[in-house]
Structure 1
């Protein structure tokens, strides 16, 4: 069992919201973990949190930096970064390496093929190990309609209990509730090839709507938290979602929510979807400054669950003043650059000046 993460007090002045007028308030993000590796923390006790006094309007941008092997880079400083809004370089007003508590919505695909559903089902309890005593977690599952399984949970035992109660549909040996034969299956003798025998089968799964519902739940969580959606899915999305990708992305960016996706299923299916540019999981992850991972085994899933929470918690936080922002335009692009060569970074593509009502 892992030891609880300890946080150090640190004072910062910032507005932990998008580019909206801020009023003085106190929020308390925790500070850096004193560990050398990405070992997850279990919820055991309350942790001290530092005070941040908000007095100005800042655009806050969490940033993840990785080396060529995909490992997190944690030794960068303020002068290693440059940040641009609408192509114009901005002065960095605040820089922090302090980890933040998470508000996480775990969104589980309930329309997977049998083998994938079985793998996910057997690993769900491992999700709890990635969250600390300062985090709060809600649980969802979805197919055509998103279903809220719990409100936000802060106790580890309660989270484990709820995870044990989740029963994923796994009665479809092929491609889930959409029907049709298994992927790459051959027609029976004397039967003509079926149009359903394709790598991108027709389905009735609404990923946009599921993300939108989870984002609606997350949008009003405290500003001193990292708000994330942990999405576990095969990435196959129906065309008749109530909410479009654009509409859903606007809500995510307005509410400062990042999507961390774990793609499940056969590796060739995931890679094929990516190659065709139809990977909705990757689109959401990259646009919101989250990340995407792929799991083809139970071991992969159990390894990735704590990695998602660790990565989301331990981002660099960069903020700049929105004083020179063109307030006549609702959307503003963001580009973050790192000066050290050989590194890659993840940050959201932009923000909306006026959050959605």
Structure 2
């Protein structure tokens, strides 16, 4: 939302209860995204990456989250011990968060201190400001609800592209 007061009000009523149903929350994103509101949209998830109460498995949660057509940017709070992992590897909870972000066209930011948190927020803000929307019309006329993969390639070197993995051909 662009309404700062509304955002702060909603943030203030959230209560930490000790159990995290992270996959269930991500799967619920289709129900909280206002499809009528025009303009850029994104979901920013703040988490430590631990899920200890979900009823959904990872596969089903990813499937539901990517049906929203809104990128999920994850700001994951990491531990100092995470920095000691071999380069390119991450703890299991973080790899699942990376998958959610990648499947929806977002990005995972791992932060360990306030300076990194600020960098992550600025990074998300910049990505949303400079994103492009490309339209696509499938030549297939079967709307069977199946997930259809898409691939976007750039002909120019030195640019980075991030897209969602595909779309659902909803009837």
TM range (shorter): 0.7 to 0.9
Higher strand share goes to which structure? 1
The yes-or-no answer on 1:310 pairing with 2:123 is no
| 1:268 to 1:335, Cα distance in 2 relative to 1, 3 A | farther
Residue 46 of structure 2 corresponds to which residue in structure 1? 232
Are 2:106 and 2:162, in contact at CA under 8 Å, matched by a contact in 1?
Answer: yes
C-alpha contact (below 8 Å) 1:228/1:260 kept by paired residues: yes
* C-alpha distance in 2 between matches for 1:271 and 1:334: 36
- Contact 2:29–2:65 (Cα < 8 Å) also in 1: no
Matches of 2:79 and 2:70, distance apart in 1: 28
- 285-294 or 327-336, larger mean C-alpha shift: 327-336
Query: Which residue is equivalent to 2:25?
Result: 210
Choose which of 39, 59, 78 in structure 2 pairs with 1:246.
Answer: 59
- Residues of 2 paired with 1:336 and 1:327: CA distance? 22
Write the distance in 2 (CA, Å) between the matches of 1:249 and 1:325.
25
When normalised by structure 2's length, the TM-score is 0.78
- Give, in whole Å, the separation in 1 of the partners of 2:145 and 2:28: 26
Q: For 2:41, what is the secondary structure of its paired residue?
A: strand
Structure with greater proportional helix content: 2
**Which structure is larger by alpha-carbon Rg, 1 or 2?**
1
135, 149, 152: which one aligns with 1:319: 135
CA contact (8 A) 2:28 2:64 kept: no
How far apart are residue 313 of structure 1 and its match? 4.0
How far did residue 265 of structure 1 move? 2.3
1:257 matched residue in structure 2: 70
Aligned length: 168
Query: Which 5+ residue runs of structure 1 have no aligned equivalent?
Result: 1-102, 104-134, 136-153, 170-175, 178-203
**Match 1:221 to one of 35, 40, 45:** 35
Q: Normalization by structure 1: what TM-score?
A: 0.41
CA separation in 2, counterparts of 1:345 and 1:287? Answer: 13
- Aligned-pair Cα RMSD in Å: 3.1
Of the candidates 95, 99, 110, which is equivalent to residue 294 of structure 1?
110
8 Å Cα contact 1:227-1:256 kept in structure 2? no
Q: Which runs of 5+ in 2 are unaligned?
A: none
Counterpart CA distance in 2 for 1:255 and 1:337 is 23
CA distance in 1, matches of 2:133, 2:146: 23
Change over 3 Å in CA distance of 1:258–1:327 after alignment to 2:
same
Asked if 1:331 corresponds to 2:147, the answer is yes
C-alpha separation in 2, matches of 1:319 and 1:280: 29
Q: Give CA-to-partner distance per residue, 1:116-161, whole Å, 9 cap, x none.
A: xxxxxxxxxxxxxxxxxxx2xxxxxxxxxxxxxxxxxx2x345445
